[in-house]
Structure 1
Amino acid sequence: MKKLKAVFFGTPDFSCPSLELLANHPQIELKLVISMPDRPAGRGQKLQSPPVITYCKDNKIKFYQTENINKDEELLKLLDEVDADFYLVLAFAQFLGSKVLNKPKLGCFNIHTSLLPKYRGAAPIQYALLNGDTETGVSIQKMVKKMDAGDIVKESKLNIAFEETGGQLYTRLKLAASLTLNDFVTDMLNDEVTSYEQDESKVSFAPTLKKEDGHIKFLENDFNTIHNQVRALKPWPGTYCFLNDKRLKVIEISKYDNAGLKPGEVKVADNKILVGCTDSTIRLNMIQLEGKKACRDTDAVNGLTNKFDSFKIS
């Protein structure tokens, strides 16, 4: 029975289903897993291993942690000794230089959670939702020096639901990545890998998100734009506005008919918190005030009306 030797590069929990697929595939010899170093985490700032390393420890898989894969001479020597057929990269958080890219016999392959060349970069899941896309997917590309620019060797598509959040899509794509990887491994084992170049004229980017990207601007945007922002950035970095200069986390919204509020106008009616945007009125269904727990707007109204005579939002 034909077998292929593999090295896996990954760091967060998103990488774990694909790692598990390789670790348990009857025709794959997983020779080594490479990840980032342990980091301080939690209130006590104790060192914590990345989820990928925790999986390796639990399943007795050989691993190596490094801050700089391209300059770690011990690791480069170890990779030569392993002499793998292919490397698989998923959310590793480091770029692979030519020294590493040229080592495996069949090449280095990266799993990316968009339909390349759309949304090259760090946040393809969130940008698909921010832009109101109805479809996304998983692309496996043969890695080159340029970010996410290699030839596509496998692709699978997923429909996006109108109410789907970033967290929900993250989970579905995490599992879809492992299923797509399974199909790609089958192609390699059968010598049936095909590839095609990306269309550079259709490239778009999904750069790293910042907390400030969660600031909702009711004066400037319509309901669909705000709806997409809220769901795309849930759970991270989250969306917010300022109510009477106090930061208000906005967790869930809906369109509210017949309120007739101007953009940025705030009203409390029927125990609901309503805000006007450029084309309609939005209800802030679920919110979190500074220093308080998240709650429904109906539970927050009494506290707000007792505290403020009028409301302004920014």
Structure 2
Amino acid sequence: MKKFNVVFCGTPDFSVPTLELLSTHPLINIKYVITMPDRPAGRGQNLQSPPVAEFAKAHKLPLFQTENINKEADFLTKLENENIDFFVVLAFAQFLGNKILNMPKLGCFNIHTSVLPRFRGAAPIQYALLNGDKETGVSIQKMVKKMDAGDLAISHPVPIFEYENGGLLYTRLKFQAALSCADLIEDISKDKVTYTQQDESFVTFAPTLKKEDGLLNFKEQTFEEITNRLRALDPWPGCYCFLGKKRLKVFEIEKHHSTLIPGKTEVVYNQILVGAKDCTIRLKFIQLEGKKACLDSDLLNGLQNSKEPILINGDL
């Protein structure tokens, strides 16, 4: 049976299971793996390869690293002579220009972790949790110049479990992405790929998250909104508020029967309570800047000699 000449573009560990699938698939011949350059990392600032580059080197796959693939004229000329059937793109961190999009016979396929057109952009996993969705998914679209707007070749719904945070869902979806890619290859091999246009009236976006997105605003956020934020931003960037002038990371909360006004702080029976928009919550498991993570009661015991009042976000 004919093998397909494929180029894979990806960078983080999320991309590795799909690259591994491609590298072992009997119908796939990987012509090149394209990823970002090595970066200084750690205290010593030693150069470190992206996970995709590490996998490619370990398995002796042809590798090309670049900051911007669209500017690599000589390499692109070489690729044009490689008789490429299609590209697979997953978490690449670069846009592909028209020259690349038009190069392979069957096009460029991007794997995206939402049911498109919902949550186009860089952070679909986190936004599904922020929104309190019960379901997300994996979509494979035939790429066009407009971000995440191509026709869908694969759309697999995936349930979100109540216990899942951003890290757990990330891990599950990186393997689902590989399974969905396997389905795409099967469809291509049987010439059974069918495309569905995205309905632009249902488009929503999931832009890149920043550290500041983890700041909790008890006065404006409900218990459910705070809970969703804790799940979505775990492990990165994490949620926090301020106890006095020190950052206080928040890992776990629970509802409390007290009736504090939104933004008001109170210590009751050695528990830190804050008024949210719709109820009073206890900051149950927390970590004060410079200290270990612990229960609020343990933190208060450690602060018992402090004369400063316990104020969260300035006790709005």
**TM-score calculated relative to the size of structure 1:** 0.96
Q: Which residue of structure 1 lines up, in the alignment, with residue 154 of structure 2?
A: 154
Per-residue deviation at 1:225? 0.6
Deviation track 1:24-72 (CA, whole Å, cap 9, x = no partner) reads 1011111110000000000010000000000011111111001111111
Per-residue deviation at 1:82? 2.1
Per-residue deviation at 1:308? 4.2
Q: Does 1:137 align with 2:141?
A: no
Q: Following superposition of structure 1 onto structure 2, how do residues 27-46 of structure 1 map, counting pairs within 5 Å? A: 27-46=27-46
Q: Which residue of structure 2 lines up, in the alignment, with residue 24 of structure 1?
A: 24
Q: Following superposition of structure 1 onto structure 2, how do residues 29-178 of structure 1 map, counting pairs within 5 Å? A: 29-178=29-178
Q: Which residue of structure 2 lines up, in the alignment, with residue 203 of structure 1?
A: 203
**Which has the larger displacement, 79-88 or 128-137?**
79-88
2:275 is aligned with what amino acid? G
Determine the C-alpha separation between the residues in 2 that align with 1:255 and 1:24.
50
Q: Which residue of structure 1 lines up, in the alignment, with residue 262 of structure 2?
A: 263
Determine the C-alpha separation between the residues in 1 that align with 2:17 and 2:308.
52
**TM-score calculated relative to the size of structure 2:** 0.96
Determine the C-alpha separation between the residues in 1 that align with 2:166 and 2:259.
30
Residues 274, 8 of structure 1: CA spacing in aligned structure 2 closer, same or farther, 3 A cutoff?
A: same
Q: Give the SS at the match of 1:307.
A: coil
Deviation track 1:69-92 (CA, whole Å, cap 9, x = no partner) reads 111112202311322110000000
Q: Is the CA contact 1:83–1:103 (under 8 Å) kept in the aligned structure 2?
A: no
Q: Which residue of structure 1 lines up, in the alignment, with residue 311 of structure 2?
A: 312
Determine the C-alpha separation between the residues in 2 that align with 1:58 and 1:298.
49
How many residues in Structure 1 have an aligned counterpart in Structure 2?
313
Q: Is the CA contact 1:245–1:313 (under 8 Å) kept in the aligned structure 2?
A: no
Q: Following superposition of structure 1 onto structure 2, how do residues 265-284 of structure 1 map, counting pairs within 5 Å? A: 265-284=264-283
Q: Which residue of structure 1 lines up, in the alignment, with residue 298 of structure 2?
A: 299
5+ long unaligned stretches in structure 2: none
Deviation track 1:207-231 (CA, whole Å, cap 9, x = no partner) reads 1111111110011111001111111
Q: Is the CA contact 2:286–2:293 (under 8 Å) kept in the aligned structure 1?
A: yes
Q: Give the SS at the match of 2:81.
A: helix
Q: Does 1:288 align with 2:279?
A: no
Q: Which residue of structure 1 lines up, in the alignment, with residue 240 of structure 2?
A: 240
Deviation track 1:102-140 (CA, whole Å, cap 9, x = no partner) reads 111100000001110011111111111111111100000
Q: Give the SS at the match of 1:139.
A: strand
2:101 is aligned with what amino acid? L
Q: Give the SS at the match of 2:69.
A: coil
Per-residue deviation at 1:249? 1.1
Per-residue deviation at 1:293? 2.1
2:276 is aligned with what amino acid? C
Q: Is the CA contact 1:6–1:85 (under 8 Å) kept in the aligned structure 2?
A: yes
Per-residue deviation at 1:311? 1.8
1:182 is aligned with what amino acid? A
Determine the C-alpha separation between the residues in 1 that align with 2:48 and 2:98.
30
Determine the C-alpha separation between the residues in 2 that align with 1:78 and 1:266.
64
Q: Is the CA contact 1:117–1:198 (under 8 Å) kept in the aligned structure 2?
A: yes
Q: Following superposition of structure 1 onto structure 2, how do residues 207-222 of structure 1 map, counting pairs within 5 Å? A: 207-222=207-222
2:59 is aligned with what amino acid? N
Q: Which residue of structure 2 lines up, in the alignment, with residue 182 of structure 1?
A: 182
Determine the C-alpha separation between the residues in 2 that align with 1:221 and 1:45.
39
Determine the C-alpha separation between the residues in 1 that align with 2:295 and 2:78.
55
**Which has the larger displacement, 79-88 or 101-110?**
79-88
Per-residue deviation at 1:4? 1.0
Determine the C-alpha separation between the residues in 1 that align with 2:185 and 2:302.
57
Q: Is the CA contact 2:267–2:310 (under 8 Å) kept in the aligned structure 1?
A: no
